[in-house]
A = this chain, B = another copy of it.
Amino acid sequence: MPFCWNEGYEVSLVDAMFSSFSAVCVTGLAAVEIGLVFNMTGQLVMLALIQIGGLGIMTATSLIFMALGKRFSLSDRLTMQESLNEDKLQGVVRMTRSATFLTFGCELAGAALLSIRFIPEFGWAKGIYYSVFHAVSAFCNAGFDVFGKGTNFMPYAQDPLVLITIMALIVVGGLGFLVVLESGRWAMHGFRGRLSLQAKVVLIATLFLIVAGTVIICVVEWNNPETLGIPSFSAGDKILNGAFQSVTTRTAGFSSFRQGGMHSVSALVTILLMFIGASPAGTGGGVKTTTCVVMLSLLVAIIRGREDVTILRRRINWQTVLRSIAIILLGMIFVGVMTFIVTTLESNRFDTSRILFEVVSAFGTVGLSQELTPLLCPASKVAIICCMYAGRVGLITVMTAISMRMAKGNGKIRYAEERIMVG
């Protein structure tokens, strides 16, 4: 897309590929400064890619979930599915319509709030454009900014209106469409009636991760002059920015302070939160909150010697449990291998923990960066592209697709059991 660059800038093929992948995968890792290097055409192309990426993933995953739900509908009483009882096609149309309304509604509301700040600062045209772009970028958990100064949201670190609006958009986008709709209805009915397991787990896990992340980051960074310890910050500012960091890791990727300036403890917390990511059928990435909850419940069940894996007094079927294990283990192995490859390619130039940060950020389609991505060699950039792609498409999907072909012609042979000692 050479017509997308501003004059005077040359963009290498790898960097151009990097940017497109980053946009479609709603990662937000940028090899070049978008607001500076891309002209208006380029930026609008990016905006369209982000919006399509976000909306597409949200509706597609919701549809798959609901389609699967059909098969299990006897044993299952998700409130959502009742709306599907009429007719398949009608249901799909209705759902896509609601998702689109929800998305544009949230983005419009967010843009309106942002414009209160941006129109006085940048004038009408630029102010409205900035409001819309960043509202879309936040709701779709893309994390791109077009301020063009390489500072992301750092200039707004003391502006609660901007930060809280962005945080709200990120969280709602990441909850997953079905959960948002269900909790919306539930709230309208005065918080009465039963929520589905999905909604309960997602809401509780999201709240827990945001609060825990905020507390740890605030405690660790309170007096760090490179992050929250800036002299002009009040206690309120510190908490606001700690919360922003906690929210943005899952998995928007905006930043209100320099990520490279973080204490190593906060960097570890950030890596963990980026790996966990958002919730299924939302616009966020990562291995997803519910996956982690299922895995922890499995561990509890094994340790307590239970036969069933249960969450909040509901049994989880084994297929889901196995899927969770596979997602998390494959994710860890993939991140480990990729960190290994990039460390090898960069041959001792950078610290391993910083490389891990970038790899997890790409895998979780987060886009936070400890200022490392632009410095990487082209081969490493390709590796990071693979991380984004795998993180977005899902490792299982990739691996299953590969093994589908290999499995052809393998009959069902059941082998004799033999014991093996482990641990």
Question: Which residues of A approach B to under 8 Å, CB–CB?
Answer: 61, 65, 68-69, 72, 75-76, 78, 176, 196-198, 201, 220, 263-265, 267-269, 272, 280-281, 287-288, 290-291, 293-295, 298-299, 302-305, 308, 310-311, 313-317, 320, 322-330, 332, 336, 339-340, 343-344, 347-348, 351-353, 394, 396, 399-400, 403, 406-407, 414-423
Contacts and interface: CB of A to CB of B under 8 A. Distances in A.
A95 to B, nearest CB: 15
A235 B194 CA distance: 70
Contact of A423 (B220, B288, B399, B417): B288
A352 B69 CA distance: 44
Given A72-B419, A75-B417, A351-B353, A304 B265 contact: no
Given A264-B352, A268-B339, A302-B323, A280 B423 contact: yes
B198 A327 contact: no
Contact of A197 (B264, B324, B420): B420
A302 B317 contact: no
A385 B423 CA distance: 20
A314 B198 contact: no
B280 A422 contact: yes
A304 B421 contact: no
B316 A298 contact: no
Q: Which 6 A-B pairs have the closest CB atoms?
A: A314-B418, A280-B421, A291-B422, A327-B423, A315-B417, A352-B353
B419 A78 contact: yes
A264 B418 contact: no
A-side binding surface: helix, strand, loop or mixed? helix
Which of the listed residues A201, A263, A329, A419 has the most CB atoms from chain B within 10 Å of its own CB?
Answer: A419
A290 B418 CA distance: 13
Given A415-B308, A417-B317, A264 B348 contact: yes
Given A69-B419, A198-B420, A327-B422, 17 more contacts: A72-B419, A198-B419, A264-B348, A264-B352, A265-B344, A280-B421, A299-B326, A299-B329, A302-B322, A304-B406, A313-B415, A314-B415, A314-B416, A314-B417, A315-B415, A320-B420, A328-B329
Contacts of A418: 76, 196-197, 314-316
